[in-house]
Amino acid sequence: MKPSIYVTRKIPDTALQLLKEHFLVEMWEEEETPVPREVLIEKIQTVDGLYCLLTEQVDQGLLELAPNLKVISNMAVGYNNIDIKAASNKGIMVTNTPGVLTESTADLTFALLMATARRIPEASEFLRQGQWKSWAPMMLTGQDIFGATIGIVGMGRIGEAVAKRARGFNMEILYYNRSRKMEKEAELGISYVELNELLQRSDFVVILTPYTNETKNLISKEELLLMKDTAILINVARGGIVNEAELYEALVQKKIWAAGLDVFEQEPLPMDHPLLTLPNVVTLPHIGSASIKTRIKMAELAAQNLIHALTKDTPQNLVNKDLL
């Protein structure tokens, strides 16, 4: 008999067909709303594999209910929604979708940087609200990007792809990373500095680390106060890496100039969130990798990861390599 799997959201057809060739598939059929926790609790009790999104909290409690579960395939590169240690302890493989979303996410990072620097959503709204009376010398003026200094925190796949784009804008590129990437420095034209120096020197600070115990609140009041009052913070990584309450204070007190955020501590961002009251914040609903082609590639890669894990010896994109 084929192994059984549960898919926690309606996924692109090509990915679903791949899965159906190998497994008995059950799927939460909705596209916009996550699977309710009680449904996930029921389904996890029997399946061999779970195909999930970053919206599902796969914690120890859930894993305790899953006697047959052998693999969790996350349709995302970030996997902070999954308790990796608990999965490893139970011998459950966890896989993710690195690489296929790198360029799309770097595109969005740069788009958000430019939109924030040049106040594009605010300017568009200004026109639509009938506030455009005349061309005026200092109307809706922003910050220059070409020739500015960008500081990339987390020089991984997406960090590198952002650095390549920054070179095209003749930017000075500083980076801070857990491990120094000497071999990449000449190739990408990037200079390693400690985090504090990066914060002090950069016109744009771009966060691109995973969310872990070490990166939680990596950017808090102390770090924000080191930034220039003309600087812009861009976060396309995960919400909890930046302390939102302290970011709000820094923006209100004009300690930094603006922020562009694709990710939040709580998603979806509550409509009464204080950040939404500020004109100098550009907010996006976690769309970093959201190009049509990339989302299909992610869905297919997550399917292939699951197939490899349940039918072959060495799964690709295994996160918990301690299991090998």
Give the bridge partners for 150, in sequence order: 173, 204
User: 318, 95 in Cβ contact below 8 A?
Assistant: yes
Contact letters (x/-) for ligand GLV, 268-307, by CB under 6 A? --------------------xx------------------
Q: By CB under 6 A, what part of segment 112-171 binds ligand NAP?
A: 154-159
Single residue of 8, 95, 116, 209 touching ligand NAP by CB under 6 A: 209
- Cβ-based nearer residue to ligand GLV, 182 or 292: 292
Residue 155 contacts which entry, ligand NAP, ligand GLV, none (Cβ below 5-8 A, type-dependent): ligand NAP
User: 192, 275 in Cβ contact below 8 A?
Assistant: no
Catalytic one of 21, 42, 64, 267: 267
Q: Is 238 a catalytic residue?
A: yes
Give the bridge partners for 282, in sequence order: 260
Single residue of 30, 125, 214, 222 touching ligand NAP by CB under 6 A: 214
Catalytic one of 9, 119, 201, 286: 286
Single residue of 15, 71, 72, 77 touching ligand GLV by CB under 6 A: 77
Least distance between ligand GLV and beta carbon 288 (Å): 6
Among 33-41, 67-75, 112-120, 284-292, the segment contacting ligand NAP (CB under 6 A): 284-292
- Cβ-based nearer residue to ligand NAP, 25 or 112: 112
